[in-house]
Structure 1
Amino acid sequence: MSRRRLGTLLVPVSGLSGTTYPEGTKVAIRGTGGSVDGFVDGDWLPLAWWEFADIKPEEAADTWPGV
């Protein structure tokens, strides 16, 4: 069973919906490598490696209840 990977934005990023999410926004991450898929409330954010930082699982439990 794989754990859900979570991250936080390091810079503002626009989602597919046109909404721009500010630095510090928490995102669900899918994929690995230089670019990954990020999701915020169902909105897709194509992310480059420098646009986000991973959140450690123990930190995610504090900021994302139920994770």
Structure 2
Amino acid sequence: MTRRLGVLLVPVAGLSGTRYPEGTQVTIRGTGGSVDGFVDGDWLPLAWWEFADTQHEDTPRT
């Protein structure tokens, strides 16, 4: 399964209690209305409106 990269659109608290600001880059796993987001190993349960996809990890940047 390909992991996706994204960016937070709103501040979100991770499982650790750390609050990540808008614009934080996240690794996204899953599909649907809610997905798993990760920042340096910290898990962020994300709803569809809290993040935007930026690219897949295996997609070269141009």
Regarding TM over 0.5, the answer is yes
The equivalent residue for 1:43 is 42
- From the two aligned structures, give the one with the greater helix fraction: 1
Aligned sequence identity (%) = 78
Q: Aligned residue pairs: how many?
A: 60
CA distance in 1, matches of 2:26, 2:55: 13
TM-score using structure 1 length = 0.80
Distance change >3 Å, CA 21–CA 61, structure 1 → 2: farther
Q: Secondary structure at the match of 2:49?
A: helix
Task: List 4+ stretches of structure 1 deviating above 4 A.
Answer: none
Relative contact order higher in (CA < 8 Å, ≥ 6 apart): 2
5+ long unaligned stretches in structure 1: 63-67
Pairwise CA RMSD: 1.8
CA distance in 1, matches of 2:53, 2:17: 23
More strand by share: 2
TM-score normalised according to structure 2 size: 0.86
In the aligned structure 1, how far is the partner of 2:3 from the partner of 2:60?
A: 11
| Structural mapping, 1:1-67, within 5 Å | 2-57=1-56
